[in-house]
């Protein structure tokens, strides 16, 4: 009896572990092939009203070389996307986008190019990398504490052939600061929490076997 119960426990724990791996792998609510580890998962992050919001490189809102069609209502866009990709789940996608938002904010702050490379389009990555290099030349460092994401709303879906562009508005609470080589604060106020709004667009070719989404454009509210 005791030996049989031990085997049952092992099987049970193995099933639980497999489920957790699956959940971590579905970062953007896609299939089980969507398993990027935290260092390899998916801004211009600008808020002129808050100096203590970490400032990401200036970008246009264009989506690189892929030109999207005009925006549709979210409900119509979701329906169109589910025709192209029946596995798409809006709630899972938003949860994955929130994970990506957290990773990208933190990776930019510490200059983690490997994480950014995996999550950004080539064009967006170049803007980020340029800003990180400028920061390194100036011997400056960023500190970022993403306290919470209070809202993540899907506000726009564009379809261009099999290419899907999903835009999310993030509202988050952050504490950030920039320090010089001596550790003195030169920008921001780390003890003060600021509410920051970002609008990010993620893209994926639904005809591809690759289930991963990429950040292709960022902007601040107009």
- Residue 7: the pLDDT is 57
Give the model's pLDDT for residue 79. Answer: 92
> pLDDT value at position 20?
39
pLDDT of amino acid 188: 62
Burial bucket for residue 5 (CB in 10 Å: 0-12, 13-18, 19+): exposed
Q: How far is CA 184 from CA 137, 175, 204, in A?
A: 16, 16, 42
CA nearest neighbour of 145 among 187, 180, 213, 192: 192
Which CATH architecture best describes the domain 2-219?
Roll (3.10)
Which pLDDT does position 35 carry in this prediction? Answer: 34
pTM > 0.75: no
Beta 185-188 vs 194-205: how paired, if at all?
Answer: unpaired
Residue 127 contacts residue 44 (beta carbons within 8 Å): yes
Rounded Cα distance between 31 and 62, Å, is 28
What are the structure tokens assigned to 59, written together?
A: 């970008």
pLDDT score of 16: 46
How do residues 82-132 score in pLDDT, each as one tens digit?
999 999 999 999 999 999 999 999 999 899 999 999 999 999 999 999 989
pLDDT of residue 179: 79
Helix, strand, coil percentages in the chain from 3-state DSSP, rounded to 5: 35, 25, 35
Q: What is the structure's pLDDT at 161?
A: 86
What pLDDT does 122 receive? 94
Low-confidence stretches of the chain (pLDDT < 70) are 1-72, 186, 188-190
Tell me, what's the pLDDT at 17? 45
The predicted pLDDT at position 8 comes to: 52
């Amino acid at each position: 009896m005791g030996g049989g119960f031990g085997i049952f426990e092992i099987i049970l724990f193995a099933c639980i572990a497999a489920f957790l791996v699956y959940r971590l792998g579905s970062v953007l609510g896609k299939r089980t092939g969507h398993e990027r580890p935290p260092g390899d998962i998916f801004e211009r992050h600008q808020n002129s009203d808050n100096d203590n919001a970490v400032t990401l490189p200036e970008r246009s809102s264009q989506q690189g070389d892929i030109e999207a069609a005009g925006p549709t209502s979210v409900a119509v866009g979701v329906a169109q996307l589910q025709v192209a990709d029946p596995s798409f789940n809006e709630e899972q996608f938003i949860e994955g986008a929130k994970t990506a938002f957290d990773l990208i904010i933190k990776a930019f702050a510490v200059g983690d190019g490997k994480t950014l490379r995996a999550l950004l389009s080539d064009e967006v990555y170049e803007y980020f990398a340029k800003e990180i290099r400028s920061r390194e030349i100036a011997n400056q460092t960023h500190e970022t504490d993403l306290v919470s994401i209070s809202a993540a709303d899907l506000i726009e879906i564009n379809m261009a052939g099999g290419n899907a562009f999903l835009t999310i508005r993030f509202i988050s609470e952050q504490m950030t600061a920039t320090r010089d080589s001596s550790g003195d604060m030169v920008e921001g106020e780390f003890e003060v929490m600021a509410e920051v709004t970002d609008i990010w667009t993620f893209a994926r070719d639904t005809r591809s076997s690759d289930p991963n989404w990429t950040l292709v454009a960022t902007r601040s509210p107009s």
